[in-house]
Amino acid sequence: MEVKDKPFAIEKLKAMEQTLAKGKQIQDDCSTVVKKLRAMLHSAEEQLRVHKKQTMFLTIS
């Protein structure tokens, strides 16, 4: 590699590092969203169980 090409290579390397960092941030954000959605689903399922129990109780009473 010639001396004149080194600054270009360093800039390209920095750009690639920034791209990788952005990709990792997106992946981390997606993981966080998945966890939140799972928690919401669990909560909704629990609420459904409670409402079913209440309905059964009121129907039998």
Tally of structural domains, the chain = 1
* Alpha carbons 26 and 46: distance in angstroms, whole number: 30
| Model pLDDT, residue 19 | 95
Domain of residue 56: give its range. Answer: 3-60
pLDDT digits (tens, 9 = 90+) for 7-34: 889 999 999 999 999 999 999 999 999 9
pLDDT digits (tens, 9 = 90+) for 43-53: 999 999 999 99
